[in-house]
Amino acid sequence: MKTLNDPKNYKKNIKAFHPKTNYFMNCLKAFLVGGFICLVGEAIQKAYAAFTDYTEKSAGNPTVATLILISSLLTGFGVYDKIGQFAGAGSLIPVTGFANSITSAALEHKSEGIVLGIATNMFKLAGSVIVFGVVSATVFGLIRLTVNNLLG
Amino acid sequence: MKIGKQTWRFQEPVYLISTGTTAGPLEKRGPLGETIDKTFDDLHCGEKNWEAAERRLMREAVDICLKNVNLSPEEVDYFLAGDLLNQTVTSNFIARETRIPYLGLFGACSTSMMGLALASLLVDGGYANHVLTAVSSHNATAERQFRYPTEYGGPRPQTATFTATGAGAALVGKARSPIVIREATIGRVIDWGIGDAYDMGSAMAPAAADTIERHLHDTGRNPEDYDMILTGDLSSVGSPILRQLLWERDLDISEIHQDSGLMLYSPNQPVFAGGSGTACSAIVTYGYIVRLLRTGKIGRVLIVATGALLNPTIIQQKESIPCVAHGIVLESTGGE
């Protein structure tokens, strides 16, 4: 009989006591909420193209800015973390999740002052995303350049 | 007097003379909301930042505890306090205000019973007449210190616990009161390899089991000799693990075991597996349990405060969480 009083295999044996993670439901929620955020983005982009001087192509930047603004406001009102708990990756991966990580860190460290509090800590969570974004962009850019030159 | 390997039995009766508890809005709406002396409707507790709010919670708990028995801080010999923040900063600042000779304690969420044990020891040994002990925790200050910013949208698993917002203070002395502090069992640090800060119930259960087993062995009692064995913050994950661990050691506590983290909140509140934090066991013990003992509704209770001695830096270095649990036996003298 399996005994729980076994320090070596404790980590393995306690799995039975943990609530089961429903991966299917998590994926579904992430898909729906993530998809909804993209839908909102699409609508904003179309609206910029239709009602302003932006073209369908150049409307991308103001669209991202608008999504960031909405996400930051929702973070400030204390709503975004609740959406995050529900949607998981669905609200973490889009640009709104990136904005949330920056705004929440800035809010958190407000009490330590503008320079050493907000400015220093703002990219505490987002910093890793930027690092890996820049590094992978460089690597893949080099690969693309090499391949193009070899083929061309 | 030391009995067995890890237990102190106090010779002359040492009394729990007075207590004071404070808490935030979520705890107020929980099942034990009525038993908390003072609650705040806002997590900021009227202060300008979270850390100040936590100090407010401890300050008010200490004030209530002393006012209950009309004692001024000058009449208290020592102040033993701890919290979860770096350098136990909340306690340091309250000690600065009360000007009572002070020892800062850190035992993570086990600090409440660590403080009560040491306070009883000082009184029992004749080194003090009145010792005040207090602990606090605040959900937002703990989140920022140990995890992510409060408003960060990263999801948590269902094994996570929720740091309680509040504080508890207790005054120990020789003056007769309806509650006697009978024994204290000092726990060993136990680490069975859990390194997940979102699963502290599983990490702490072996430490709780060890202290309870040691305590029963040292005192020669059985689980049936207690009306309740109350653990600190094992949550809905760690509690069944503890009962199973002890059951396998031929100790059945399933009838009398309760967990503070599960009592402080109702199941429909958003606290995942249950409450945790230094204040969790203190609010429940110094509020609800003390009321039961005062009125004689329960006779003897073993309180085992469980602490995950987690360090956020070392966790990133892939180490596991050392855990400790300290036990205190409180007895009713038969009701007021």
CA distance B194 to chain A (A): 6
Whole-angstrom distance, CA of residue A108 vs CA of residue A98: 16
Q: Say whether A18 and B149 touch across the interface (CB within 8 A).
A: no
Do the domain assignments include residue B35?
Answer: yes
Do B21 and B161 lie in one domain? The reply is yes
Mean pLDDT, range B264-268, rounded to an integer: 95
Do the domain assignments include residue B288?
Answer: yes
What does the block give as tokens for A48?
């910029």
Do the domain assignments include residue B2?
Answer: no
Do B163 and B198 lie in one domain? The reply is no
Do B152 and B286 lie in one domain? The reply is no
Do B193 and B306 lie in one domain? The reply is yes
Per-residue confidence band for A151, with pLDDT thresholds at 50, 70 and 90: confident
Q: Could you read off the pLDDT of A21-40 as tens digits, one per residue?
A: 899 999 999 999 999 999 99
* Contact with chain A for residue B154, Cβ under 8 A: yes
Q: Could you read off the pLDDT of B200-245 as tens digits, one per residue?
A: 999 999 999 999 999 999 999 999 999 999 999 999 999 999 999 9
What does the block give as tokens for A111?
């009490």
The number of CA neighbours under 13 Å toward the Cβ of B311 is 8
Which residues are CB-neighbours of A125 under 8 A, at least 6 positions away?
Answer: A101, A102, A104, A105, B148, B149, B152
CB-based contacts of A40-43 (< 8 A; 24+ apart in sequence): A40/A67, A40/A70, A41/A67, A41/A94
Do the domain assignments include residue B1?
Answer: no
C-beta separation of B256 from B223 below 8 A: yes
Domain final residue, candidates B152, B173, B194: B173
Domain final residue, candidates B133, B151, B173: B173
Do B157 and B210 lie in one domain? The reply is no
Whole-angstrom distance, CA of residue B325 vs CA of residue B118: 14
Do the domain assignments include residue B74?
Answer: yes
Q: Could you read off the pLDDT of A82-140 as tens digits, one per residue?
A: 999 999 999 999 999 999 999 999 999 999 999 999 999 999 999 999 999 999 999 99
Domain final residue, candidates B129, B152, B173: B173
CA distance B50 to chain A (A): 9
C-alpha distances out from residue B35 to B31, B76, B132, Å:
9, 25, 20
Do B202 and B303 lie in one domain? The reply is yes
Of B151, B244, B273, the CB nearest to A107: B151
Do B15 and B105 lie in one domain? The reply is yes
Do B37 and B145 lie in one domain? The reply is yes
Do B169 and B205 lie in one domain? The reply is no
Whole-angstrom distance, CA of residue A18 vs CA of residue B237: 6
Do B143 and B187 lie in one domain? The reply is no
* Statement: residue B336 has pLDDT above 70: no
* Contact with chain B for residue A14, Cβ under 8 A: yes
Do B49 and B142 lie in one domain? The reply is yes
Domain containing residue B199: 181-332
Do the domain assignments include residue B312?
Answer: yes
* Contact with chain A for residue B188, Cβ under 8 A: no
Q: Could you read off the pLDDT of B40-65 as tens digits, one per residue?
A: 999 999 999 999 999 999 999 999 99
Do the domain assignments include residue B229?
Answer: yes
C-beta separation of A10 from B210 below 8 A: no
Do B17 and B157 lie in one domain? The reply is yes
* Contact with chain B for residue A118, Cβ under 8 A: no
Count: domains in chain B = 2
CATH of the domain at B324: 3.40.47.40
